[in-house]
Structure 1
Amino acid sequence: MAEQAKILFAEAEENNLDDNVNDERFARWYTCSLCEQDYHGVVACALGWACWKTYLGRPEADWPRQSAMTQLGHGLSHADHYADALTVKEAELSMRRRLGQPNGVILAVQGNIAITYLKLGRLDEALRMRRDMYSESLKLFGEEHSITLLAALNYGSSLNQLDRFKEAKSLFRKAVPVARRVLGENHNTTFNSRMIYARSLFRDPSATLDDLREAVTTLEETERTARRVLGGAHPATAAHEGALRKARAALRARETPSETS
């Protein structure tokens, strides 16, 4: 797969093909040409290393080299090498700032760093970064932009992980309707935002019976969407399935009258 990706992209460069073709060819480093889904796990890690080794010798301002650093960071994360991934991602952020790259690019790299903070258990640092990213995205792009909606998803996820359910629910009740309208039901940001919102509903100790029912209904819908869009074997689909099981268990526990002695 690495050799195929290398050859396809080299052909595009040699023939001076347009940017869309270059992007499509480079995507072979991280996306399957058959199912069009991103690689994950050790496959993503191996391809990330191969991509970085292929373009490492190029100038820093050369975009394939920059993208290769991104793929290396992603690949290390997929293989659970989070400390190494953080080192790569922080170096990438420094490089992109040094090159004066657009705000949207900088925000994307910061988002990857925040994810790595989470994997390393640095939850408060992740929350602060994601809060700042959401605020910056609102200011730069407005509430309907895909970058802002993704930032809302990530910020809400961090709030949820720190059990700040009231804030998470308030955020998602504003962002989810916008995502459904602007991005559509099948977009990753939309159904993942709905999943995290549902988690904030059923995990909240003060959840009402209606909250639990809403969580189950929402997760039944997002699980079906994830299965249809990503396939049953994808890790994200498993995350939706797991959340649905927990929501159903919480609802059953509330609906089942406790036994009296």
Structure 2
Amino acid sequence: MFLTKCAACAADCTTVKACSRCQTVYCSVQCQKTHWESGHDKLCKMIKKKGGAEQLYADKQYKASIKLAVEKCAKDARSQALLNAAKQLGDLSFCDMEERKRFLELSAEDAEIEEDEVTCYICLDSIHSETKEGVVRGCGCKGSQGHAHVTCLAKQAQLSVEEGETMNADDMSARWSKWTRCGICEQNYRSLVSCALGWACWRTYVQRPMEAPAKRAALTTLGSGLMDGDRAGEALTVFQAQLKHAYKEQDEESITAAKGNCAMCLSNLGRDAEAVVINRELYAQIRKASGLEDIDTLVAALTLAKSLRALSSFSEARALLREVVPVAMTSLGGDHGVTLELNSNFVRAMCMDLNATADQLKAAVDLAHSTHEAALRRYGDGHELTHLCRASLADARVVAQNAGLER
């Protein structure tokens, strides 16, 4: 599915011709012949033995994504340790600059030592015995909890799903969530950890037929992971394939989900005019079917609001959010992730509007304060939702200061 470029000339394959043995794709018979003669004949059997071109590609992407996730998590851990050390510098006012600098250097060394001592909560090793990868943590766990190897998380999810399939279990949705959600804090994995688990899930089920529920679920998991890993172009390819299959099956629920995912990718790619058309349609459709209090409706409203803000349609975004935010506060709670995002978007819709009144700007600052405090309480200082709320608060303060409303 991902191999859409000719292996010989790298041209887009509008009409795909694949090697009958290993499924490597070409744009023409001539390119296939040229590629075979230039060395593919020596690799073809090996590629087939490893599961074919698509499987081999997924395996390579998986290994690369683990490396990136481990590196990022290690970097984030060191940065957090330095921030914690920097906060203590207020107690070192009697020290000169050189002593403070040395304190930070020692703190950085301590952080590296502590990093080596962190172990996976599944296998209890710091370094995975087979893959030699380090641990990651891309959820909402705090302190010493939640560190694990991507390989261990993937194996845990795979075994749970396989057991459910064998038993024809009723809790398959909960079993599948192990691919995307931490079993300790029950928050979704994010960023490059989510991306690595997306590839892990896809490589596990890529060999199954497209009609298999597991492969369709893996496709969704991969697409979401690619989005979290800031790879919207690849995610769009995934969700377009998902939409094509949903139309073929005439599955309305899957069509709606795939359309929403495509719109999300388009927004991330800067194609907001295309995205807002889809998001308007989906919001109206989901609201009519499920009611305003349903979480799917509130998520659709959030997505539409983001599209409207991107197109500078601030008054329409404000009108939408003014209606849905109170509903989200009541039905989900003020510290729910969707509510926090709705509030942050409401703040920015008010602040970025050049026609906003003084009362609207004051209300934006107050809402930004309460939203940031709620995010800190629920998710902690390092979570991306807290960063989002903090950025909204900073924007609101700047706009209010420029308007002479806050000192």
1:66 to 212, 216, 220: 216
Give yes or no for the alignment of 1:117 onto 2:269: no
Displacement of 1:145: 2.6
Which protein is bigger by CA-based radius of gyration?
2
Give yes or no for the alignment of 1:152 onto 2:304: no
Contact 1:117 1:123 in 2 (8 A): yes
Q: Partner of 2:403: helix, strand, or coil?
A: helix
Identity over the aligned pairs, expressed in percent? 37
Quote the Cα distance in structure 2 between the aligned partners of 1:178 and 1:191.
13
Quote the Cα distance in structure 2 between the aligned partners of 1:66 and 1:228.
36
| Structure 2: stretches of 5+ with no match in the other structure | 1-152
2:236 to 86, 92, 108: 86
Quote the Cα distance in structure 1 between the aligned partners of 2:371 and 2:257.
25
**Greater relative CO (CA pairs within 8 A, separation 6+):** 1
**Runs ≥4 residues deviating over 4 A:** none
| Structure 1: stretches of 5+ with no match in the other structure | none
**Which is worse superposed, 71-80 or 235-244?**
71-80
Give yes or no for the alignment of 1:8 onto 2:160: yes
Paired residues in the alignment total: 255
Contact 1:61 1:99 in 2 (8 A): no
Quote the Cα distance in structure 2 between the aligned partners of 1:3 and 1:138.
38
Quote the Cα distance in structure 2 between the aligned partners of 1:15 and 1:169.
49
Residues 176-187 of structure 1: matches in 2 within 5 Å? 176-187=325-336
Contact 2:340 2:385 in 1 (8 A): no
Contact 2:362 2:405 in 1 (8 A): no
Q: Partner of 2:325: helix, strand, or coil?
A: helix
Residues 135-150 of structure 1: matches in 2 within 5 Å? 135-150=284-299
Quote the Cα distance in structure 1 between the aligned partners of 2:156 and 2:208.
20
Residues 194-213 of structure 1: matches in 2 within 5 Å? 194-213=343-362
Q: Counterpart of 1:17?
A: 169
Residues 89-100 of structure 1: matches in 2 within 5 Å? 89-100=239-250
Query: Residue type matched to 2:267 in 1?
Result: L
Quote the Cα distance in structure 2 between the aligned partners of 1:243 and 1:164.
18
Contact 1:73 1:86 in 2 (8 A): yes
Displacement of 1:203: 1.0
Give yes or no for the alignment of 1:238 onto 2:390: no
Q: Counterpart of 2:363?
A: 214
More helix by share: 1
Quote the Cα distance in structure 1 between the aligned partners of 2:360 and 2:308.
18
Q: CA RMSD in A?
A: 2.0
Quote the Cα distance in structure 2 between the aligned partners of 1:233 and 1:113.
29
Displacement of 1:174: 1.5
For 1:136-171, what per-residue CA distance to the aligned partner results, in whole angstroms no more than 9, with x for missing partners?
223322333322222111111111111111111111
1:48 to 185, 198, 205: 198
Quote the Cα distance in structure 2 between the aligned partners of 1:13 and 1:256.
60
Quote the Cα distance in structure 2 between the aligned partners of 1:181 and 1:78.
28
Contact 2:358 2:405 in 1 (8 A): no
Q: Partner of 1:255: helix, strand, or coil?
A: coil
Query: Residue type matched to 1:191 in 2?
Result: L
Contact 1:48 1:75 in 2 (8 A): yes
Displacement of 1:256: 6.2
For 1:173-195, what per-residue CA distance to the aligned partner results, in whole angstroms no more than 9, with x for missing partners?
11222222233323322221121
Quote the Cα distance in structure 2 between the aligned partners of 1:148 and 1:23.
20
1:156 to 1:256, Cα distance in 2 relative to 1, 3 A? closer
Quote the Cα distance in structure 2 between the aligned partners of 1:77 and 1:195.
20
- The normalised TM-score by structure 1 is 0.90
